[in-house]
Amino acid sequence: MSENRSKARHRRRKTALVAGVPLSLAAAGTMAYGTVVGVFGEDAVSRAAAAGPAWAAETADGFASVNALGQNGTYGGRGGKTVTVRTLADLEKYATAAEPYVIVVAATINMNPVGKEIKVASDKTIVGSGTSGHIVGGGFFLGSGVHNVIIRNLTIRDSYQGTWNDKDHDFDAIQMDGAHHVWIDHNDLRHMADGLIDSRKDTTYVTVSWNKLSQNNKTFGIGWTTNTTADLTIHHNWFRETEQRNPSTDNVAHAHLYNNFLEDVSGTGIASSYGNYARGNTRMVLENSYFQGMRNPVTKDSTAAVVQRGNVFSGTSGRNESGGTAFDPKKYYSYTLDRAADVPSLLKSGAGPRSSIGTTTTAKARAAAATTLTVAKDGSGQYTSVQRAVDAVPANNTSRVVISVKPGTYREVVKVPSNKPHVTIQGSGGSRKDTTIVYGNAAGMRKPDGSGTYGTPGSATMSIQSDDSQVRNLTVTNDFDEKANQSLSGHQAVALLTRADRIVLDGVIVNGDQDTLQLETAAKDKLGRVYVTNSYVTGNVDFIFGRATVVVDKSVITLKKRWNGTSAGYVTAPSTPANRKGILINRSTVNGDVSAGSFFLGRNWHPGGDTTVRPQATVRNSTLSAAIKSTPWTDMGGFSWKQDRFAEYDNRGPGAGSESGNRPMLTDAQAADQEVADWLAGWTPGA
């Protein structure tokens, strides 16, 4: 970004500051229960708790993620209001509503009458709060055409009426008749009068994952139709003490079962009749599952196809069948298999509702399944460069890959492309200073291939362009030498660039001069949230900038002198879209070895004279050194900062000041809408 901007015409804004502008989009977040105080601070506990668990906003994997039937994946009530329910009346009210909702069940709810199945409408997420969400004596019904529904982290139990093979009471936990795009995940389903899950009448694009299914006879039935159209993914489920339908799949076009654990414990009152059953014209791919003590673990009709790969059978007996030609699941979506031998321990600790989850997507119990790649300069790791490790990450990976970088200095450019989400680049040393990734490109430098100059984003030492990615416990530096390159036009030199959503920068040092930390989104109309915590960011000109929604929390912002020893600069340069939140600096310290009154907190960047943006920066609850000017905001490119959104709240230190026309302050009411939880909009960064 250039320090000097040409003037541009612009239209006048109506107000100098609009506090608490809501985000119109609440994109997917990570599964992170954790301690709310630890992430947000005590003043935000009630607000964050009311918003419910952040993983209520996640999107599905497997066939539920496939774009089809006019539905782009499965994301439930994302974008709708979040409500917490503790009564049957409230649960039914919101579950049957026409509008999208994220419904957090925070109590035991008894169905009345017993066997009642709430008729869930489209665009709903129903999620338990910790382990407290219980549905007793009934369940949910998803009728024809109902779509985009997520049911997670609930215990649904005890509609059993005393008859084991009950043919009179159709009391299911979850029944689906002609629905599509449904994700059933991390639930405890048990002891029902009929099925735990019934997926009937061409219900399709369904993913069932990380559930515990137990104490039941007719457990999980799929089909009840002569059509062969349904597509389902069933992975990482623990079937324990279930007699039949584990599952039974009847005329299913694509049934992908992997990493499930089917367990029949000897000496109990329940004995398995069969395990996975492919009926009719079903085509089934069955991979890396573990069958313990099951009778007839894999059964198929003569007309069905079952392809088995990598399964383990321990103490099983009876039919174990395969044959025919099925399909390649990777033609429809990406996935990562866990070793079959690891499945029992993985699911015993990870299936069912979670009370405290600090890692993303599949919980700490799945940490064993996360891939770790090691990098070491001395050759003691799998790779000698960070980029080679990134290159080894499979495209469209669905589970976290940790790139563990041993202490040392790695002089290289690192780019994590957009098709490799869930990547963590993490220094393995005892200090963030032990591992350094450094390079020295600048915007005005010509590329070695002669294709032009790098430009500002292209100068980045590290570029994170994939969602749900993290950088931890290391230093990222751009060491471009401005003094030695005064003849060069374009001194912008980015150390770290993000261009994605749900990015965590934790315990890092980001070093540079001009444009150190560039925080963007994948596109102007895309949401991009970044949480920077326990970190150091150094620079002098516009060194925290971009259009992303950013929280810099509990960090140190260090002001540096210019190449010629002078003190002058700008901390932030947001280019925020009008309907989004910009840069929030919270509970941090701004200091450095520079002259008093020499730095602005920020200026308003309208890229290319864009009149549609409304840059926003808020600095609150922070300590400001004497280096900060008494009028801390300034114009940029001919646009008046007063027509955009800049403010402070409850700062301290010699650089703090009182409210004036040139130093706006939030009111208490405005500040209540500009806390970390508001900024992150339903996403709780995972630990």
- Check if the beta carbon of residue 475 is closer than 8 Å to that of residue 508: yes
DSSP 8-state symbol, 523: S
- Check if the beta carbon of residue 181 is closer than 8 Å to that of residue 69: yes
Instruction: Determine whether 645 is exposed, middle or buried from the number of CB atoms within 10 Å of its CB (0-12, 13-18, 19+).
Output: buried
Instruction: Give the C-alpha separation, 260 to 242, whole Å.
Output: 14
Pairing assessment for the beta strands 134-136 and 155-157 based on DSSP bridges: parallel
Q: Which two tokens stand for residue 581?
A: 């939140």
Instruction: Give the C-alpha separation, 270 to 191, whole Å.
Output: 12
Q: Which of 5, 245, 366, 580 is catalytic?
A: 245
Pairing assessment for the beta strands 117-119 and 462-464 based on DSSP bridges: unpaired
Cβ contacts of 43 within 8 Å, gap of 6 or more: 675
Pairing assessment for the beta strands 248-250 and 371-375 based on DSSP bridges: unpaired
Q: Which two tokens stand for residue 576?
A: 């925020």
Q: How many CB atoms lie within 10 A of CB 489?
A: 10
Q: Which two tokens stand for residue 342?
A: 């690891």
Cα Rg for the chain, rounded, in angstroms?
Answer: 27
Q: How many CB atoms lie within 10 A of CB 378?
A: 9
Between the alpha carbon of residue 153 and those of residues 294, 295, 463, the distances in Å are: 27, 30, 35
Between the alpha carbon of residue 7 and those of residues 4, 231, 569, 610, the distances in Å are: 10, 57, 19, 11
Q: Is there a catalytic annotation at residue 245?
A: yes
Q: Which two tokens stand for residue 153?
A: 């982290």
Catalytic residues: 245
